[in-house]
Amino acid sequence: MTNKETYQNKATEAEKGIHTDFKNNMTYGEYLQLDSLLSSQTRLSDHHDEMLFIVIHQVSELWMKLILHETNAAIESIQADDLQTSFKRLARVSKIQSQIIQAWDVLSTLTPAEYMEFRDSLGQASGFQSYQYRLIEFALGYKTGHILKIYEKDSELHQTLEQAYHAPSLYDVSIQALAKAGLPVNPAMVNRDYSKPYEADESVREAWLTVYRDVEQYWDLYQLGEKLVDIEDWLQQWRFRHMKTVERIIGFKVGTGGSSGVNYLKKVLDQRFFPELWDLRTEI
């Protein structure tokens, strides 16, 4: 027997345990509900590239679902004083963000001429209306009440957004963690109205400065601060790639949802989530 035949026999023997009879057992496709998932790409035009457009946005929404799952769990961990568990979850969020950014590279293969072939089929539907993206903004502390009107059509969804709008954000619970550690944070920042957009506070800035100037004593809070910076960094990179992809495909046309398109996306880049953590880099 040749070496090749011996190898093939061993390989065959090793794989005898592979299951092939699924008449009474759950399959991979059933577990993932692939019939439902893979039948959800319904083109409204006959244009070949509409499939690309749909798949990219659906994949992004799946990644956003996981971002919310991990971020909300991290918020709960921080509230429970379990910072180590929150670090794992926030690190995973950053990795997910790197994946969602890559999606713009694929979508940017769509040319302006190709997109215009099916753009009218979208009607007024737009990524601007992504409720999961709004939930991510809320979870990170950027609260905009007027956005809620978009979702009044679905009362259950509207209620979910309302709850997230009034809930403490990732940064709110991080500030609470600073106070729990004995750092002198303004009580008004610890128990504030969470529906209001966060604005930088001097006591929070001083607390983070203390953490970064004494890393050894405040190691867990230092790690938390850096995890937050990672997340905002990746989010801004995602926003930038979004803006440049839109500019590449439609230029400065008005968006399908009625926004100013690229001009709106450029303004969004000025939004900040964790301002003190960025400002302190100039001071330490």
Q: Which residues define the annotated binding site for heme? A: 242
* ∠ CA 84-87-89, rounded to 5°: 115
Task: Using the Cα atoms of residue 104, residue 48, residue 59 and residue 116 in order, give the sign of their dihedral.
Answer: positive
CA dist 46 and 254 (Å) reads 24
Question: How many other β-carbons are positioned within 10 Å of the β-carbon of residue 56?
Answer: 19
What does the alpha-carbon distance between residue 138 and residue 161 come to, in Å, rounded to a whole number? 9
Measured CA to CA in angstroms, residue 250 lies from 44, 124, 128 at distances of 19, 15, 15
Q: What is the DSSP letter of 93?
A: H
Whose CA is closest to 73, among 86, 83, 84, 62? Answer: 86
Where is the binding site for substrate, in residues? 53-57, 115, 119, 256
Output the CA–CA distances (angstroms, integers) from residue 48 to 60, 62, 105, 123, 228, in the order listed: 20, 23, 18, 18, 40
Q: Hey, what's the torsion of the CAs at 165, 168, 174, 175, to 10 degrees?
A: 100
Helix (H) or strand (E) holding 37: helix 34-37
Place of tokens 């961990």: 77
Annotated binding site: 53-57, 115, 119, 242, 256
Nearest Cα neighbor of 210 from 184, 187, 230, 245 is 184
CA 261, CA 243: separation in Å to the nearest integer?
A: 8
